């Protein structure tokens, strides 16, 4: 069975600083990887995904994540954060054996201050 570890429960940063939110996964088979975001008082929404091909994937709002198979990681990065990026970020994994359940990490709360 798959599992996801997000070691940082909260990451405080200043506006315009770079940020990295860590995600490590465990699985005995090949996986698909995802980052979801939950803005304050809103529902969860997909931020970006890795299914195959290029190991570096990007979102429309400047986040990127890199799939590293050897380190079983899928860290989320942004070179310069905005106040509006304040949210909870969840990493998730699904194995590649057809439609399978999506397992989420415990989330990382990103707090961006001026």
Chain positions contacting other proteins, by CB under 8 A: 6, 9, 32, 34, 36, 43-46, 49, 51, 90, 92, 94, 99-107
**Closer residue to other proteins in complex, CB, 34/85:** 34
CB 15 within 8 A of CB 81: yes
Detail the DSSP E strand segments found in the chain. 3-5, 10-14, 19-21, 24-26, 31-38, 45-50, 56-58, 64-68, 73-78, 87-95, 103-104, 108-113
**Closer residue to other proteins in complex, CB, 11/44:** 44
Q: Report, in Å, the least distance between residue 10 CB and other proteins.
A: 11
**Closer residue to other proteins in complex, CB, 13/102:** 102
């Amino acid at each position: 069975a798959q599992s996801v570890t997000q070691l940082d429960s909260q990451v405080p940063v200043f506006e315009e600083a770079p940020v990295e939110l860590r995600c490590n996964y465990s699985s005995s088979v090949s996986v698909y990887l995802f980052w979801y975001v939950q803005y304050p008082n809103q529902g969860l929404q997909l931020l970006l995904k890795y299914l195959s091909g290029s190991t570096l994937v990007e979102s429309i709002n400047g986040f990127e994540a890199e799939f590293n198979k050897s380190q079983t990681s899928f860290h989320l990065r942004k070179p310069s954060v905005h106040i509006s990026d304040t949210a909870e970020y969840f990493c998730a994994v699904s194995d590649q054996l057809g439609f399978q359940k999506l397992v989420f990490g415990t989330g990382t709360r990103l707090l961006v201050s001026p």
